[in-house]
Every structure is written in C-alpha cells, then in structure tokens.
Amino acid sequence: MEYTTLGRTGLTVSRLCLGTMNFGWQLGEADSHAILDRALAADVNFVDTADMYGARDYEGTSEQYIGSWFARTGRRDEVVLATKVYQPMSDRPTDRGLSARHVVMACEASLRRLRTDRIDLYQMHHVDRSTPWEEVWQAFDVLVQQGKVVYCGSSNFAGWHLAAAQAAADRRGSLGLVSEQLKYSLLTRHVELEVVPAAVELGIGLLPWSPLAQGLLSGALRKEREAAPGRTTTHAAPRVDEHRAVLERYERLCADVGLEPTTVALAWLLSRPGVTAPIIGPRTPDQLDLALKALDTVLDAETLARLDELFPPIGKGGPGPEAWAW
C-alpha cells in the first residue's frame, strides 16, 4: 500500500479511499462488511461515507453498516473515517444544509450510527449558499473543540468557494478545509480549470469521486460485448453510446499497454497534481483487488500523452485564471 498525507496536514492516508455509497443501496450488511474486511487486509486505511448514503427513510444505512463493522471487529482506530453533512435527513426544513443547528445535530446522529466518538474528516457535502461562512465555521469549530471532529473538508465546491471558505476559517484562526471531494476523471476534467489549482494553492487535498465515470472507464465496451444478450452490465449503460467512439480508442490503448482500463483510469488520477486519493466504490472484493493494481502502475510519458489526445484538457492555456486572463 502507498500512503501520503492528506492535503497540508500530517495525517497519513492510503492513496486509495474506500467509498461506501453502495452500502445499503446495492449491498447488504454482510457484503458491505466483506468489502471492509478486504480493504483493511490490503492496508487501505481511508474510508468515506455520508449520512445520506444508503438511506431508507433517512436511516443512514451506510453509516450503520460501518458502525456495526466497527462493533464486530474493534478496528475503529485503524481507520481514517470520513463522512459528510448537508443533504436532507428528514422531511423537516431544519434537517438539511449547513446551518450551525443542523451541522451539530447531524454530527451527533452520524456518531451514533457509526458507533464512534469521533469523525476524522467531517465534510460539507455541498456549498450552502444561504448560510454565512462565519456560522458554518462556528459549528465546525465547536465540534473540533469537543473532540468529535478532527479535520474538516468539502465536496462539490467551486474554486472560489474553496477560497471563500478558507479565508473565513483563517479569520477565525481555524485550520479550515484540508480536503475537497470533486467529480474528476479522464472524462470529466473541467475541475482542472480552477478547482484543482485553487486546492493546490491552499494545500487542500483532492479526493476524486466517480474516478471511473460511473463505470465508463472500467472497460464498459468489452463488458457489453461479453454480456449475455439483453443483460445490462453497468448502471452507466445509457451513457455508453454518447462516448462510444472515444471509449473504443481508450480500450484499444489499454490493450496496447497491457493494462486493465480500471487500472489506467486510476493510475492517471494518481499522477495528477494535488490528488491525495481517488475514491473507489467496489461492489465486490474482486473489484477492490482490481482497483488496488493501480498503486503498482506508473504510466509513462507516451501513455499520458496519448490519454491527453483522447481526453483533452479543457483549459488549453493551463489552469485558471492564467488560461484566459493573459
């Protein structure tokens, strides 16, 4: 296993993060526990969830499954545990967003479901345009002071959101944001314009979600060819036709270099500036094992150049604002 530090902190995390969005929605408790067992056996120490993942009537099922795994194994201290707050957790208008009230109450609820006394990385699942940063940081600072939260992060922020949030934290003398979860893959590179350079400048570690573009970069066309007639092989199937031409060239490139498409897509992300750990969401232990192979893969300059030809950067002049300002 490779490890790195999370953003500008001294916290050591594995270079792949186990995402658990499938827990509860696609996987039952036993299968979820099996994936956690395999991840820890492979020395993955970084686990990400959210209060709304796997929710059935706002029950927070993903967090519950992780909590029951902690109770069964006693391995809480081996895990850097990340969860999120923002999404609705009931029909009540106060039970959502980043108001100080909701942040504090949601944290308490997550701690109960996770059966732990602390959240290592508590992340804002989305920017809340109706709540001032001073209020948001007041709530997070209280949780940090109480020992219930160790580090704070964000998800789905624009570059200027990162700057505004960090400036508000600096005014309070708080550490502020140490990570940003962002939609980032070979097929989704727009974050390279401003989010990535802003995060790198501010020392905020990047945690790409959907690194395989909902399965499109995992060999979707090959799986389509190998599938039995009428069988759907991936939840990304409705999007395959939109990208079929470039995916055909991508899978040929992977075959040329003798690597699985999943391995190439993750290895490419691991080579990008500012990336701490892509978030993988395996539905089986075998899928987890395949993702882990990316850690032993270094793409050469020729392969990286061919990938840029297939999936061109959006900012041809470099990252923002240099791409358009001068």
DSSP 282-309: -SSHHHHHHHHGGGG----HHHHHHHHH
| Torsions phi, psi for 245 (to 5 deg) | -60, -50
Known catalytic residue at 53: yes
User: What is the DSSP code (8-state) at residue 219?
Assistant: T
Chain-centroid distance, C-alpha 187 = 16
Q: How far apart (Å, rounded) are the C-alpha atoms in residues 303 and 290?
A: 20
- Closest Cα to residue 116, out of 93, 142, 83? 83
d(CA 131, CA 139): 12
Tokens 């490779």 found at: 2
Which of 3, 53, 58, 250 does the annotation list as catalytic? 53
Closest CA to 146 of 179, 118, 169: 118
Q: Which residues are catalytic?
A: 53
